[in-house]
Structure 1
C-alpha cells in the first residue's frame, strides 16, 4: 500500500516515468486524472496528498473539494492557472519550478528578435515563393548601438541582457522590484518611469510575471508611446500582451514588428488574424523546450512534491506570504 496519493491533473509528456521514479522514493503513488475539467479534478483529487499541475485550471471549486492535499506543484515557471487565494485559504502550499529552461527561453527570445528584425523569416518565405530581392525586406536596422529594453530583469531577463550585449547593443530595463546591485552588476541602465522606458527603447523583450498589474500592459495606448521602428518579443505569459491591440499596431505601422511565443489563448482559434501579418513571428509556446530542459522540469516538479511531503515545505513556495497573512501556513 502506498504512503501517499499524488494526482497529476494533466500532461503534455509521453509518459510519467520520471515523476513516478522520484515519487517512489517516499512510496507515493502517481495517477493521471481522466480529465482536466474542474468537476473531474474535484472528484478524482478529493483524497490526494499532492497535485502535479501542468495546464489544467485549478479553480476554487477544485481547491475546496480537496480534503488531504498539502501541496500543488505547477510544472513550469508561471502559476496563473492555480487559484492562489483559494489554495492559501485552504492551507495548501503552491510551488513552481522557476530554475529550469532559463537559457532556453533567453535563446528563444533572441532567436525571435533576430529573425524578426533581420527579416529572416520573411525573406525565407519570399525566396521559397520565387522572389530574390533584399529590397522587399527594407528597412533593416543595424543592431550595434541600439537600445534593447527588458521589461523584467529576473533570471531569464538577465540572461537575455548578456546575449543582447554580445550583439553590441546597449541594454536597459524597467523592473521596480529588482535591487539596484543587479542592474549595476550587469551594466544595465535602469528606468524608473515606465512611459519613459517605452519611449526610449528600440527593442523590447518581456520577462515579467502575469499579475493583475501586468495583464495587458502591452496595449495600444502603451504601444503608441514606442518608436515606430520598435520590435517587441514576448516569451513570458500571453496575457501580458493584448493581441488585438498588437494586431492594430502592426497593421497600422505603430510599431515595426513582433515575435510572440505565448498567446492569450493557446492554441489560438483559427483563422487567427495575427498569423496573416508578415511583420510578426509566432511560435507555439516552445521557448522552454530542449532535450535537456523537459526532463529537468519534470524531475524538479516531482522533487518539490517529495520535499513537501517528507520535510513539510517546498523549496519554491509561491504562496508562503499569503498563507502567513491568512494564518494558514
Structure 2
C-alpha cells in the first residue's frame, strides 16, 4: 500500500463511493472536508498528494501551503475557484472534467430555447388563469429557418448545433480558437462576433469566464442584437451582465432569456428577472442527471489515479504556467 492522501476540500454529493473505489486500487485514501475559506483549505491540503475540489477557494495562499501535491482536480468544467497561475508556478497541474455532461447541458439549452420560442411559461400561466386559447401569446414563429448563434464552439456547443439543425434551424458560431475544419464538419457557419449578434434569432452562450468574456453580453451587446432575439446561457453567469439584461428585456430590446447560470447564485429574491414572463430561470442544474453525476465523480477520481501513477493527464487547464 502506498498510503497516498487524497483530500476532498468540499463537495455536495450524496456520497463519495465512486472516488473511494477508484482510489483504493492505487492504495489511496480520502480525507474529506467541507472547507469554506482559505485558511480551512490551506490546513486541509498541506500534506495532500492530490486534491479534489468543488467550490472551495483554491487561492495562491492555499496552494502555497501544499508540500507535495501532484494534482488539483476540479469537479466540473469551470475552474473559477482555482488560481491556475499559482498552481502552475508550483508545478501542480490543474485538471477539470469537461466531458461528463455534454448531452445534458445541450439538452437543457435546447429545452430553454424551445420553451421560450413556444412561450410555454406564458401559455401555462394563461391556462392556469382559466384562459383557454388556441393561438395564445401571439406572435409565435417557427424555429425552422431561424438562425441559432453559438457564442463559443466547444464540445457542448457542437451538441447544441446538431439538436438545433434537427429542428431545421440554421446554425452560426463565433469562436476564434476553433479551426475552420470543425465548423465545416458540423455544417455550421463561421462568423465574427458582430455578425453573430446581428444575424441570430437566438444566441446560446458556451463560453468560459475569463477577463475577456466577463460581461461580454451587456447593454451595448444587446443593442446590436435583434429586438426579438432570445438569449440562452448555460455556461458561466458572469458572461452576462444581469442588470443590463433585465433592462433590455424590460425595454423590449430582447425577446426573452433562458438562464441556468447567473452572476449571483442563488438568484437574489429582488431580482427583476424572477418576475419577467419572458424569462426562464433554472438553478445551475443543466449538468444534472444521475448518470452525469456518477461520470463526474468517476472521471475526477481517474485523473487523480493518473497523476499518482505518473500517467499523462487528460484535461490540464493551466499548462502554460507549468515548468
Question: Is TM > 0.5 for Structure 1 vs Structure 2?
Answer: yes
Matched position secondary structure for 2:290: coil
Aligned match of 1:105: 105
Work out whether 1:176 is the aligned partner of 2:169.
no
Aligned match of 1:220: 219
Aligned match of 2:290: 291
Q: 2:147, 2:199 within 8 Å by CA — same for their partners in 1?
A: yes
Q: 2:148, 2:170 within 8 Å by CA — same for their partners in 1?
A: yes
Q: CA deviation at 1:215?
A: 1.0
C-alpha separation between the residues in 2 aligned to 1:58 and 1:302? 18
Q: 1:146, 1:170 within 8 Å by CA — same for their partners in 2?
A: yes
Structure 1 residues 296, 13: CA separation in 2 closer, same or farther (over 3 Å shift)?
Answer: same
Q: CA deviation at 1:136?
A: 4.9
Q: 1:2, 1:29 within 8 Å by CA — same for their partners in 2?
A: no
Aligned match of 2:78: 78
Using structure 2 for the length normalisation, give the TM-score.
Answer: 0.96
Aligned match of 1:237: 236
Q: 1:123, 1:134 within 8 Å by CA — same for their partners in 2?
A: no
Aligned residues: 323
Q: CA deviation at 1:5?
A: 0.8
C-alpha separation between the residues in 2 aligned to 1:130 and 1:64? 62
1:160-215 deviation line (CA, Å, top 9, x unaligned): 11110111111111111111011111111111x31122011111001111111111
C-alpha separation between the residues in 2 aligned to 1:12 and 1:132? 43
Matched position secondary structure for 2:77: coil
Q: CA deviation at 1:316?
A: 1.1
C-alpha separation between the residues in 2 aligned to 1:35 and 1:131? 51
C-alpha separation between the residues in 2 aligned to 1:87 and 1:133? 59
C-alpha separation between the residues in 2 aligned to 1:276 and 1:84? 38
1:35-83 deviation line (CA, Å, top 9, x unaligned): 2211111111111111101122211121111112111001111112111
Larger displacement relative to structure 2 (234-243 or 29-38): 29-38
CA RMSD of aligned residues (A): 1.4
Structure 1 residues 62, 101: CA separation in 2 closer, same or farther (over 3 Å shift)?
Answer: same
1:74-132 deviation line (CA, Å, top 9, x unaligned): 11111121111111112111001111211111110000000011111221122123332
Work out whether 1:40 is the aligned partner of 2:40.
yes
Q: 1:74, 1:96 within 8 Å by CA — same for their partners in 2?
A: yes
C-alpha separation between the residues in 2 aligned to 1:134 and 1:209? 41
C-alpha separation between the residues in 1 aligned to 2:14 and 2:149? 37
Aligned match of 1:123: 123
Once superposed, which parts of structure 1, at least 4 consecutive aligned residues long, lie more than 3 Å away? 133-136
Aligned match of 1:252: 251
Q: 1:49, 1:69 within 8 Å by CA — same for their partners in 2?
A: yes
Matched position secondary structure for 2:172: strand
C-alpha separation between the residues in 2 aligned to 1:174 and 1:140? 27
Larger displacement relative to structure 2 (69-78 or 124-133): 124-133
Matched position secondary structure for 1:311: coil
Q: CA deviation at 1:135?
A: 5.5
Using structure 1 for the length normalisation, give the TM-score.
Answer: 0.95
Aligned match of 2:204: 205
Q: CA deviation at 1:312?
A: 4.8
C-alpha separation between the residues in 2 aligned to 1:19 and 1:144? 44
Aligned match of 2:307: 308
| Equivalence map 1:14-33=2 (5 Å) | 14-33=14-33
Q: Which runs of 5+ in 1 are unaligned?
A: none
Larger displacement relative to structure 2 (125-134 or 307-316): 125-134
Matched position secondary structure for 2:31: strand
